[in-house]
Structure 1
Amino acid sequence: MLPRLQKFYLRNLPLVRHIIQNLISNSHSIEDLRIIKCLGLKKIEINTPNLDTFWYCDKKTTSWKLLWTRAFPNNL
């Protein structure tokens, strides 16, 4: 879908899991994914081989959660 997309930031959007999941999983160049204060997302499965960092911040908090990084995948 988006073969050269390396950074993907979503902010203040209503999200439908299967649409976002398909978009991200079909964009194999994504290295940095951030989901910021979006509604409707409770679970997501991502299959993209180049993902280095995944950040998440929900609507109820102002703090960021680093959920995964390639540098320390088992320590988070």
Structure 2
Amino acid sequence: MDTLKDWDSWKATLGKAVDAGETVGLSDKTITGVAEKVGTFLSNNVDPRNHEERLLKELWDAADENDRNTLAKLVVKIADK
């Protein structure tokens, strides 16, 4: 699978999860909190498959708690387009 298609697929999958959370009434804060937990899990347990995922992992690993919250919000925004 080419990298761009894989990245777009990842964003679409995440976007569906965000939409599902919004549909059941989760707040933006709750969705961001879940995104932070998922980000930490992925950073600790999953090897990035492409350049975009590698960049996210490097940003996540370099970030403090406040930065991770901001990064999680941004990833949710990207996925929720």
More helix by share: 2
TM-score (norm 2): 0.27
Per residue, is there more strand in 1 or in 2?
A: 1
Q: Which one has more relative contact order, counting CA pairs under 8 Å at least 6 apart?
A: 2
TM-score, length-scaled by structure 1: 0.28
